[in-house]
Structure 1
Amino acid sequence: MRTNPDYAMDPADLKRLVRENPWATLVAATSAGLVASHYPVMLDETREELSLLTHVGRPDEEVLGLGSGELLVIVAGPHGYVSPSWYGTSPAVPTWNFVVAHLAGVPEVLSAEQNLVALAAMVDHLELPVVSPRPLLADPVDAAYARRISAGTVGLRLTPTRVTTKAKLSQDKPPEVVQRVIAELGGSGPYAAPALAAEMRRVRAEDPRG
C-alpha cells in the first residue's frame, strides 16, 4: 500500500483502529512463498510505543516462518462501496472508502508464561462488553484449562518498524457531497455501512471546511 499523506492516520487514531478492530491478517514471505493467517490482535498497553500482541496456533508459527524475518500485520477498519449516484455531480465515478493499517517488523516470540498473560489480557478485553464477562483466569477450572491449551499457541509481540496507514473517507469531496455519502452509508440501502458512516462523520467534524 503506497503512502498518501492526505489519508494518513495520526498515532491516536491508529491505536483506536486496533482497539476497535481486533481481527487481523498476518502475512509473511517464506521460502515457500507468501503465506497468510488470521488471528486477533491487541495493543500492548504496558508499552508507550506502538506494540501489538497476538498469538498463532501451532504449527502456524512454522508456516509463517516466525523468527526468520518480517511479519506484516494488516488491521482493517470499516469500509464500503460509494456509488457515483450519491454525489449529485457530473462527471462522477464510484470508489471504495476504507480505513486500514499495515504494520511490519520482526516479531518477538513470547515465553509460555508471557503468552498466557497476553492471552488472558486479550480475553479480558474482549469480554468487557458481555453482560456477564468471563475472564480467562478468574475461575480455577477455566484457568487450568487455559494453561493446558495455551501450549498449543505461540505468543508474539510486534513492535513495528514500518507503519503505513490510510483512512480514505472522501476527504477530497466538497462538504455537501460528503454529507450525502454519509447519509447513504448510514441509511438502509444495499450499500449501507453504519460504521463507515460514523467514521466519516468523525472526520467531517474535524474538517475546518465543515
Structure 2
Amino acid sequence: MRQNPSFTLASEEGVKRLIREHPWMTLVSMTDASGLVASHYPVLLDEEADGIVLLTHVGRPDEVLHELGRHELLIIVQGPHGYISPGWYDANPAVPTWNFVVAHLHGTPEILSDDENLRVLEDLVDHFEDAMPEPRRMRGTAENSAYADRIAAGTVGLRIPITRWTAKNKMSQNKPDAVVDRIMTELDGDGSYASPALADEMRRTHTALRAGRAARAEGTE
C-alpha cells in the first residue's frame, strides 16, 4: 500500500481499534499450488497478547487452499470509507477523492488444536451474540453443544501474530477546517453519498488534529 505521510496511521492502538470495530477481514495468501488465494472471515483481536495477535478460523478446505502455516498471510481490515465530491469543496477547480481507513497486517498463522479452535469459535459467537437481547451461546443447551461440536469439526482455528503492518487513515487531513466541516455535514446528511460512519471517523481524526494544533499554539505563546 502506497504511503503518504499526511495519511499514515502509525499508532498500534489505532490499528487495534480498527480491528475491534471492523472484524470482517480479507485473508490473502500467495500459494505454491494456486497462486493468489483470498478468503473472508470474522477475526478477533487477542486482547491478552502483547502486540497485535489475531484469532480466527477458516472452513475446510480453506486451510489447504491457503497452505496455512507454510507462509506469511496478508490480512486486510477496512473501516468506514466513501466518495468525497469536489462539490463539497470551496476550491475551483477540484477533483473528487475517496476517504478511508485500512490496515494491511502480515503474519504466519499458527494452527490451533481442536480444543483451542473450539474456544476461539465460542469467543467469536459470544463476541457477536453479546449485542443481542437474548444471546445464543454455542453451548447454551446440550443439543446445541452437540451440534456445535459437529460444525467445529469442519473448521480450522488460527492464531496469527502480526509481525509487520502498514495502515492508512485518509480523512481529508490536507483540507482546511472549513472544508472538513462541510464534508462531515454532507456525510451526516441524506444525500447520495451520505455516510454517518465515515463522518464519525473524520470527526475522530480531526478532533485529535485540532486539539494537537491548539496545544502547540498554546505552548508557543
Q: TM-score range by the shorter chain?
A: over 0.9
The aligned counterpart of 2:171 is: 169
Greater CA drift, 110-119 or 46-55: 46-55
The residue type equivalent to 1:4 in the other structure is N
> What SS does the aligned partner of 1:164 have?
strand
Aligned mates of 1:181, 1:147 — CA distance in 2: 49
Instruction: Using structure 2 for the length normalisation, give the TM-score.
Output: 0.91
Greater CA drift, 79-88 or 41-50: 41-50
Alpha-carbon deviation of 1:192?
A: 0.8
Contact between 2:29 and 2:37, CA under 8 Å: does it hold in 1? yes
Alpha-carbon deviation of 1:137?
A: 2.2
Aligned mates of 2:102, 2:139 — CA distance in 1: 32
Alignment of 1:30-69 (within 5 A): 30-31=31-32, 32-69=34-71
The aligned counterpart of 1:112 is: 114
Deviations 1:74-118 (A, max 9, x none): 001000000000012122110000011110111111111100001
Alignment of 1:6-17 (within 5 A): 6-9=6-9, 10-17=11-18
Instruction: Select the residue among 189, 192, 196 that pairs with 1:190.
Output: 192
- Percent identical pairs in the alignment equals 57
Greater CA drift, 57-66 or 40-49: 40-49
The aligned counterpart of 1:130 is: 132
> What SS does the aligned partner of 2:144 have?
helix
Instruction: Select the residue among 199, 207, 210 that pairs with 2:209.
Output: 207
The aligned counterpart of 1:89 is: 91
Alignment of 1:11-30 (within 5 A): 11-30=12-31
Which contiguous aligned blocks of 4+ residues in structure 1 show a shift greater than 4 angstroms?
none
Aligned mates of 1:169, 1:196 — CA distance in 2: 9
Aligned mates of 2:75, 2:200 — CA distance in 1: 24
Q: Does 1:73 align with 2:47?
A: no
Q: State the structure with more CA Rg.
A: 2
Contact between 2:103 and 2:167, CA under 8 Å: does it hold in 1? yes
The residue type equivalent to 1:197 in the other structure is A
Alpha-carbon deviation of 1:186?
A: 1.0
The residue type equivalent to 2:129 in the other structure is E
> What SS does the aligned partner of 1:25 have?
strand
Alpha-carbon deviation of 1:140?
A: 2.4
The residue type equivalent to 2:4 in the other structure is N
Contact between 2:23 and 2:42, CA under 8 Å: does it hold in 1? yes
Structure 2 gaps, min length 5: 215-221
Alpha-carbon deviation of 1:56?
A: 0.5
Aligned mates of 2:116, 2:198 — CA distance in 1: 35
Aligned mates of 1:120, 1:28 — CA distance in 2: 26
Instruction: Using structure 1 for the length normalisation, give the TM-score.
Output: 0.96
Greater CA drift, 130-139 or 158-167: 130-139
Alpha-carbon deviation of 1:130?
A: 0.8
Deviations 1:108-129 (A, max 9, x none): 1111110000110111011111
Structure 1 gaps, min length 5: none
> What SS does the aligned partner of 2:71 have?
coil
Aligned mates of 2:3, 2:172 — CA distance in 1: 17
Aligned mates of 1:116, 1:136 — CA distance in 2: 10
Alpha-carbon spacing, 1:48–1:40, altered in 2? closer, same or farther (3 Å):
same
